[in-house]
Amino acid sequence: KFNDKQSLTYKYSRDKFKSFSSDAKTYMRDSSGNPIHKGYIPLPNGKYLDFNESDFTDSINYKKVDIHALSYQDDINNIKFNVGLTNIKDNGYSSGSDLAGEGSGTKRIYPTKAYKVDFQKVWDKEKHTIVTGFDIQKDTMDSYSYKLAKWSDRDSTIGFSTTTFGGTNLVEALFIQDQYKFTDAFNMTVGLRLDRYEKKDGYYKNKRIDEKSYTELSPKLALTYTPDDDTTYYVSYGHSFNQPTLYKLYSESTSTMANPYLKPETSDTLEIGLKKNLSEKAYMGISLYNTKTQDMLAYAQSPDPNKRWYINIDEAKRMGAEFDFKFKHDDKISSYLNVTMQNAKDDNDKRISSIPKRIVNLGLDYNYDKWSAYIEGQYSSDRLDDGDVGGKLYSEDPFFIANAGVSYKFMKNAVVSLAVRNLFDRDYWQWYKAPGRTWNVGVDFTF
């Protein structure tokens, strides 16, 4: 802190991650009824199904992330300036064909870096509040493949195989917004954003990808009417621009296929809504929206039946409604309910399955003295394509899970907490089987 109005903050974090599967389940049996992972099975039509252990193995995934963030805040001049670097330097997986993990295999790593700079300046001039600034982000990704002597040991490298995919994304943007106060009850917000996106240095399976650049101007208009302190009506229109991430362009794994020819999507959204304090204890919000998207980015089945990839849908329409309700029962307990209903279709009037039709969140919060606790439920309808069967590998099932947590401030500057996700250990599939009950224990110190 330079003073009460100006400060500089630096943050650093490191995250290490590993995931793997074990105890592969098979429904194949030999003549004695013992489970088997390789062999052949006679079929009713006189043919045979051949299978091997490689049909049951999965990859071992790992990641190490370093995040640096530097921010400057100046409340005297209404300035914010941020610089960040996310360095994912040990990111990849190893795979092989035998369940024991003793045989040879392949290791693929794809280190990525994301550099980000953003600046924002605010002017308060009587009836005008003007915000202007810029954003710059550069992302890089490369991929390397190595041969492993023992595929379960990613350090058993015996040779370099090839570079497979990678590239660079550069996004630069300028923006300005003016919130104009006609009266105490009526406000108008007008904004304009200019994006320039470059996709360059791309390669995929030893083939260079042509460089592309896109420029998009995105306007925004919102009207707000507040007849009293408890009621707000609003209507808004916005045009948005969303470029594909490097992960969507170039990432390739045992379950995902790359698509380096993706284009950015653009959307036009019209929304109307109401925010209302029903009483001192109750709040309600409701909104209706209609979005039309060109070249929509969607996760879909790839030409490989065991993999999915990202594609562009020429034109998509999404209509939806959202309802939000909060209630403060007393000084200790409050509850909330959020419901989203939406319907998304492509230009052939076919449902876009990657967007669930219904999402519900509800919960109860408790705060008293040194204690705080919560319990919440999360529901999402399925994301299955027509004809898909749920409850198995590569399906996108509907689910409802409960989460809960409690924390206690045992010292002036220290809190101990316990959180449980999927409290009732529900089984469902989100491409792979979703995690079961997960426990998290933590201690936070502030000094």
Q: What are 7-55's pLDDT values in tens digits?
A: 999 999 999 999 888 788 888 888 899 999 998 888 889 888 899 998 8
| Mean pLDDT rounded to a whole number for the chain | 92
Rounded CA-CA distance 158/73 in Å is 50
DSSP-derived secondary structure for 394-412: T-B--EEEEEEEEEEEEET
Please tell me the least confidently modeled range out of 5-14, 44-53, 175-184, 186-195.
44-53
What average pLDDT does this structure show over 331-336? 96
Pair of tokens at residue 179 = 């919130």
pLDDT for res 433: 86
SS (H, E, C) 301-355: ECCCCCCEEEEEEEEEEEEEEEEEEEEECCCCEEEEEEEEEEEEEECCCCECCCC
In sequence order, the 6+-apart residues with CB closer than 8 A to the CB of 295 are 263, 264, 265, 266, 312, 313, 314
pLDDT for res 353: 84
Q: What share of the chain in percent tops pLDDT 70? A: 99
Rounded CA-CA distance 133/136 in Å is 10
pTM higher than the cut 0.95: no
What average pLDDT does this structure show over 222-244? 96
Closest C-alpha to 255, from 137, 127, 396: 396
What average pLDDT does this structure show over 411-426? 94
3-state class (DSSP) for residue 55: helix
Residue 280: pLDDT band with limits 50, 70, 90: very high
User: Is the per-residue pLDDT at 378 higher than 90?
Assistant: yes
Rounded CA-CA distance 174/255 in Å is 37
Please tell me the least confidently modeled range out of 18-32, 76-90, 263-277.
18-32
Rounded CA-CA distance 269/290 in Å is 6
pLDDT for res 300: 81
Rounded CA-CA distance 142/139 in Å is 11
Rounded CA-CA distance 222/352 in Å is 28
What average pLDDT does this structure show over 146-171? 87
What average pLDDT does this structure show over 392-408? 92
Is the C-alpha dihedral spanning 166, 60, 86, 246 positive or negative?
positive
What average pLDDT does this structure show over 358-377? 96
pLDDT for res 161: 67
